[in-house]
Amino acid sequence: MQTTPDRADRREGLVETMLGAVGPRLRELRRQRQMKLSDVADVTGLSTSTLSRLESGHRRPTLDLLIPLAQVYRVALDDVVGAPPTGDPRIHLKPIRRHGRVYLPLTRSGAPVQAFKVVLPPRGDGKPAKQSTHGGYEWLYVLSGSVDLALGTQVTTLVVGDAAEFDTRQPHSITGSSDTASEILTLFSPQGEQIHIRDA
């Protein structure tokens, strides 16, 4: 079937509209993750000028530019280009492995609160875990095993069915305290996601 000029024009106009929305969407994704252009440049290898021109619409987005950005922002490429939704409400889990831990996302990237199922390795050598701080609050629930929640110098052992909530501006760490792997559910803000997933 031959495409009529009107239909071709409409399709071309739709593509241009979608591409024109990519820049503001990239800027919003970066700001949600509290990253500077220089931070993104360091991770992707793209120059800050290229990133700036992409966000302002002065550089046409191409796959070789969008794929590394989608990976950094942890969103599907469809979300970056604004592709129509498929109607599937399920979250497709892609495990993230960091330093012996496995994070399973339970919410879409960009959600105001990030939910993860986390598998923690068995207890370590007894040395104190490195503590971190960031803005917001964190909530966790123990599904299996047991974990040590350290808040400054105070350490609380949580077992199956225990829940805890704390101000993440206080130095904290969460480690497995049983002889086998432990599983928790955890909720935190995008800032917490950046600390726990990328820097853990």
Question: What would the pLDDT profile of 80-94 be if each residue is shown by its tens digit?
Answer: 776 555 555 666 667
Q: Which helix (H) or strand (E) holds 31?
A: helix 5-32
Which positions ≥6 away from 184 have C-beta within 8 Å? 117, 118, 120, 140, 141, 142, 143, 147, 174
pLDDT of residue 1: 45
CA distance 147 to 181: 10
CA distance 99 to 38: 25
Question: What would the pLDDT profile of 155-188 be if each residue is shown by its tens digit?
Answer: 999 999 999 998 888 899 999 998 999 999 998 7
CA distance 43 to 32: 17
pLDDT of residue 93: 66
pTM metric for this prediction: 0.54
Rg (C-alpha) for the chain, rounded Å, is 21
For residue 186, give the amino acid letter: T
For residue 63, give the amino acid letter: L
DSSP 69-104: HHHHHT--HHHHHTPPP-S--------EEETTEEEE
Tens-digit pLDDT profile for the chain (200 aa)?
444 456 555 555 544 556 667 888 888 888 888 889 999 999 889 999 999 998 888 888 887 888 888 888 877 777 777 655 555 566 666 788 887 888 888 877 666 677 889 999 998 766 778 888 877 788 999 999 999 999 999 999 999 999 999 888 889 999 999 899 999 999 876 555 444 555 54
pLDDT of residue 15: 47
pLDDT of residue 3: 47
